[in-house]
Structures are given as C-alpha cells and as structure tokens.
Amino acid sequence: MQIPAKINGMADITAQILTEIRDEAREARVETRENFKTVFHRLTLIDTSMNDVKQRLTSLERHMAALLATVPVMNERIDRLEERVAALETRMP
C-alpha cells in the first residue's frame, strides 16, 4: 500500500512541529526548574529571616516582662520619695 504524497507531506510537517514543540517544551521545563529553584531559595531566605524576627520578638517579650515586673517596685519607691519630699516641705518655713 502506497501513502499518498499529500498525507506523507502532512506527516512530515506534523513530525517537524512535534519536534519543535518537544524542544521548546524541554527548554520551558529547564526554565521552570530554574524559576522554582530561585523561588524556593528566596522562600528559604524569608523563612530564615522570619525565624530570626521570631527569636528577637521572643527575646524582646522576655525583656519587657522583666521591665514590667519592676514597675510595682518603682511605683513604691516613687511613692516613698513623694512622702519624704512632702515631709521635708512641711518642715521648711
């Protein structure tokens, strides 16, 4: 059985198109891999930065808690100082 020339020509064109598409698809996959590699690297950097920020916030919370714990003591000292100043003011003519 002989294949008509028109069908044979169309088969050649189809094979050429598929070959071109295959090459383009291969290039697109390589480009996509590189893009994903870049994106994942950036996400890793962001994750590292966020962990650093989280650690700093935790440290800041500890320091703030320590400072807030001293507020009652400071208030008591200020109250006593005000009392002493008031006592001194009453002694002065």
Residue showing tokens 């088969």: 11
More confident residue, 25 or 2: 25
Could you report the per-residue pLDDT of 23-58, keeping only the tens digit for each? 889 999 999 999 999 999 999 999 999 999 999 999
Mean of the per-residue pLDDT values of the chain: 90
Determine the Cα–Cα distance for residues 25 and 72; give it in Å rounded to an integer.
Answer: 70
Determine the Cα–Cα distance for residues 41 and 33; give it in Å rounded to an integer.
Answer: 12
pLDDT at position 68 over 80: yes
Select from 68, 46, 65, 45 the least CA-distant residue to 57: 65
Residue showing tokens 């996400």: 43
Rounded to an integer, the average pLDDT of 69-89 is 91
Determine the Cα–Cα distance for residues 20 and 41; give it in Å rounded to an integer.
Answer: 32
Per-residue model confidence (pLDDT) at position 1: 56
